[in-house]
Each structure stands twice: as C-alpha cells, then as structure tokens.
Chains A and B, each alone.
Chain A
Amino acid sequence: MNSLGEAFIAAWQLLAGFDAELAQVVGLSLQVSITAVLIATLIGLPLGATIAVERFRGRQMLIVLLNALMGLPPVVVGLLVYLLLSRAGPLGSLGILFTPQAMIIAQTVLIAPIIAALSRQTIEDAWREYEEQLRSLGARRLTAGMTLIWDTRFSLLTIVLAGFGRAVAEVGAVMIVGGNIDGVTRVMTTTIALETSKGDLPLALGLGIVLISLVVVLNALVAVIREAALRRYG
C-alpha cells in the first residue's frame, strides 16, 4: 500500500515536471495513433459510404466480414504486419520494421475496419431515410454519398474518435512491429507494460494517468459535440 502511494506521488512529480522521457513517449503515442486514425479514416469512410449506398453481389458477406474485423485482436494484426514487413516478407525491402511507420501501418489495419463498419451502419441508416428524396432531386450515387457523409458528420466524428481511442490504448500490435525500442518506438502502452515488469512503477503510473485522462477527455469531447450538434441541427 505504501509503495503504491509513493509510486503515485512520484508519478505526479514526473507529470508536473514535464519529465522529458515521459513527454517523448506521450508525443510518439499521439503521433503514431493520430496518423493511423487519419489514414484509417481516409480508407474506412469512403469504403463504409460506398457499401452503404451501393448494391452489389457479396455485399452482405463484406458487411459480415467488416463487422468481424472490428474485433480483430491487436496481437494478431501485429503478427500479420510483422510477417509482411520482416526482412523475408513481401514488404521487407521497405526496411521499416521496428520503426514508427510500421506501428502506424499496424494501427491503421486495426482501426480501418472499425471506422468502415461503423460508418457503413451510420450512413446506411441515413440513406434509408434520405434515399427517395435524394433520388427525387436527381442526386447521383456519388453526390448522395457526399451528402450523407456531410449530414452524418457528427456521428462520423464520434466514430473516428472511437477509432483513435482504440488505437492509442492498444498494446499488442505496436509491441510486435515496433519492438519497444527506447527513444524510438516506445509508446505509452508498451512503456507501461515494460516499466511495470521492470518494477519502475512511477513512470508506468504516470503514463497510465495520461492515457486514462486522454480517454476521458476524448469521451467528454464526443458527448459535448453530439449534444451541441443535436441542439444546433436537430
């Protein structure tokens, strides 16, 4: 109990003093996860919108597959990306294994299906409501898709933030493809895992506090945005 209390105090001191190591780890975490979310959104959103408004063979299968991929275990994603990027793998020549780029790729693979599946659901619900009206006004599929994305933008933003939350809190994938190299590929979650096993609780706890605060702030942001959007746009 005593050591826990001491660890907390030490953790606060690290946070309050903007400890350089801690700041570096937090910075890399944000950089990797934000980049991954941006790329995953660029892939997942158009994909989700397309599946929502188009009718084609195998559509139902694709939806089932996407929904299943939402539950993809991070370690398995890490393993697959590792095999892809390892020296003998198909993308081995890039030489980016154990770099932040590899971590971005892994997190993108992890969350693109989440963003695609959830935005597909959101946009399809809106399409069901808007379809006749938009077709009556002469909107073609692409225009209709853009209109739907714009009209559901606040729900979609929530989805993107959920994707970020998943990325930043994930350990398995970045651990495997990043290698948890000090000063190069250490992010919050991998550092917590390592420092805990080493017994350096203050740094682990400090990072844990940052991580939890980040998730809480994100969720508060989501709630505020939704509330404001509902009041403003109905």
Chain B
Amino acid sequence: MLPLEFSDLSYAVGDTRIIRGISARIEAGPRTVILGPNGAGKSVLMRLCHGLLIPTGGRITWHGARNGDVRRHQAMVFQRPVMLRRSALANVVYGLELAGKSRRESGLRAMDVLEVVGLAPYATRPARVLSGGEQQRLALARAWALGPEVLFLDEPTANLDPSATHDIENIINAIHASGTKVIMTTHNLGQARRLGDEILFMSNGRLMEHTPIDRFFREPASAEAAAFIKGELPWQ
C-alpha cells in the first residue's frame, strides 16, 4: 500500500498547532526513522498515519492501497505496551482473532511468533506480570503476528534498559528483514543511527529534513538538526 504521502498535513487541538503543514513521501523499503526532540510532534504524526487521529488539515494518501481497508495492513507498537489481563499467548491470539483469523490458525501463528521473539517459554504466563522488556517484545510479537505491510513503532525502547533495548532492536531488524516496512519515532540519536536508513527530522511541528541517514549525520541541512545532533552528541 506504500508509498505513503502527506500533503500539507496539519493537526491542531484548539489553538495549539501540533503538526504544521508537513509534506513528504515515504517509499517502501528503507527503515524510516522520525527523529526529533520531545514535543516535536513525532508521536502525533505517527498516530495520524495510523488513523488513530484525524488530521485537521491536509491529506494522508496511501498510494499503493489496493482496497479501501488500509488499517488491516498496518500495525502499531506503543511506547508503553498495553497488555490485556490474560496470558502472553492469548494477547497475541486476541489481535489475530480481531483480524479475522480462526481460533486454531491464531493459536498456531501466535506460538510461532512468540518463539521468534524468545517468549515461547512464557506463553502461558499472565502478560502483565512479565518485565517491561518482555512486555514490549510481546507487543512486537502481537503486531508482527498480524503480518502487516507497515509497522509503526512509537519510541519502542524509551522506557527500557540497554539490554532490553538491544533485544527490541534485533526484533525490529528481523521484522524489517521479513519484508515489513518499519516506520519508527525516536529521540535517541544512537538508535536512529543503528536502526535508520532514512531520517525525517521534526522540530516544533514542522518537517525540517528528509534525508538518508549518512547525509543527515554528516551534513544536516537545517540549523535545528545541527543543533540537535550537537546537543545530543556534544563530543562530535
């Protein structure tokens, strides 16, 4: 269903303009990282793309959508995983059944995905008693099980320690390798460098630049991006 295009996209709550006229085109393939300081509007942009928020101006177009139902072909993982009060396996099955899969098919698929993210031994554990890192891996498994064309990740490791972050990043790369388009937000430059192929740099509700990762770090085009890189990596 890609490419995904924004034209003059805006979002405002009352008088507060959170997204201020963004135009961009996101192609299939490269891992896209939406980078920027807190409050730049990254998460809101992602929610607009995923359809959780309705734009107050401009348009979002999925150019490659074959039928009207673009929601079925995308999934999202949130900063704080929301787990239902049931087993880890049942959490994955829940998503699959909502997507219209049969109970049997869902169970098999869910078990496969838990295996891949290393949670198979915890399948019958209540999801909410898992650690933060395990819950986020489970959230990734739940999203991945749906076999989405596009996976949105909103600061997926913001609350995690380095080791859990490492696990999550490996899974994100595996999802990318399986052919799913990964679009994620982060404010962490190290993570952007490790996981990004292209950068959309946002500041104050505006898209400041949209460049391949190498060029972004070598020669940021905007003063804001240069200041952000310098602020985050003052030793460079």
Contacts and interface: CB of A to CB of B under 8 A. Distances in A.
A219 B211 CA distance: 62
Contacts of A232: 126
Residues of A contacting B: mostly: helix
A146 to B, nearest CB: 11
Given A233-B128, A234-B126, A132 B78 contact: yes
B85 A143 contact: no
B82 A129 contact: yes
Interface string B76-87: 101000101110
Contacts of A139: 98
Contacts of A143: 98
B71 interface: yes
Contacts of B82: 129-130, 132-133
Given A233-B126, A233-B128, A234-B129, A138 B99 contact: yes
Contacts of B50: 136
A234 B130 CA distance: 9
Nearest to B125: A234
A232 B127 CA distance: 10
Interface string A136-152: 11110001000100110
A135 interface: yes
A234 B99 contact: no
Contacts of A234: 85, 126-129
A151 B98 contact: no
Interface string B131-168: 00000000000100000000000000000000000000
Interface string B49-90: 010100000000000000000011001101000101110000
A233 B129 CA distance: 7
Contacts of B127: 234
B94 interface: yes
Nearest to A130: B82
A162 B213 CA distance: 59
A136 B95 CA distance: 9
A32 B171 CA distance: 57
Contacts of B94: 137, 147
Nearest to A154: B85
Contacts of A130: 82, 84
A125 to B, nearest CB: 13
A137 B126 CA distance: 20
Nearest to B84: A151
A138 B126 contact: no
A30 to B, nearest CB: 31
Given A143-B98, A232-B126, A234-B129, A133 B85 contact: no
A233 B85 CA distance: 6
Contacts of B126: 232-234
B84 A147 contact: yes
B52 A135 contact: yes
Contacts of B47: 132
B72 to A, nearest CB: 7
Contacts of A138: 71-72, 98-99
Interface of B: 47, 50, 52, 71-72, 75-76, 78, 82, 84-86, 94-95, 98-99, 126-129, 142
Interface of A: 129-130, 132-133, 135-139, 143, 147, 150-151, 232-234
27 contacts: A129-B82, A132-B47, A132-B52, A132-B78, A132-B82, A133-B78, A133-B82, A136-B50, A136-B52, A136-B75, A136-B76, A136-B78, A137-B94, A137-B99, A137-B142, A138-B72, A143-B98, A147-B84, A150-B85, A151-B84, A151-B86, A233-B85, A233-B126, A233-B128, A233-B129, A234-B85, A234-B128
